[in-house]
Amino acid sequence: MKSQANTGKNITRRIAKDAVLLAIALIIFIVEAQIPFIPSVPGIKLGLSNVVSLYAMYKLGKSDTLMILLLRILITGIYTGQAVSILFSLSGGMCCFLVMLALVRFIPVRQAWVTSIFAAIAHNIGQITVAVFILGSVSVLLYLPVLIVSAVVTGAATGLVAQGVMIRIEKIRLS
């Protein structure tokens, strides 16, 4: 009987952590949408809400990360009112998720920025793939080098933020 109570508490804690992280990701998305990114090239943004996805993948695991990611995509798609953005976000997000899933096994938290760069590149490849199908033209692939360069920069930035957060939280736990 006691183990069922502990299991219930663990599930409740897990849902609460996921909900808090989802709320943080949504707030970051809304705030970031209000800030014009300096290189105002279409499709390029910092993607700071991906800090939450990277944190979740390293600290909570794949199922929690997937749930947070999918809910974030759905809610932000509804918030922006652009159905096509859900398609772009879903393809990019799933590619990003799969790359993070593969890399967190081999890349430690202290190099999470590396995982973030590869995840950002995968995100852009997923989005450009959808663009090829929607536009019915491979000419959009010419934009891929620009997106990859931006993914390296933005992926490093968001990865360093996530890495810093994870390291600081770990230090707080150890004190």
Pick the closest to residue 124 from 138, 101, 145 (CA basis): 145
For 40-65, write each residue's pLDDT tens digit: 666 678 889 999 999 999 999 999 99
pLDDT digits (tens, 9 = 90+) for 78-116: 988 888 889 999 999 999 999 999 999 999 999 999 999
CB 139 within 8 A of CB 36: no
State the CATH class of domain 8-172: mainly alpha
Alpha carbon distances (Å) from 88 to 45, 85, 133, 164: 14, 5, 11, 29
pTM of the entire structure?
0.89
Burial-class residue 17 by CB neighbours within 10 Å (0-12, 13-18, 19+): middle
Are 169 and 162 in contact by the 8 Å Cβ rule? The answer is no
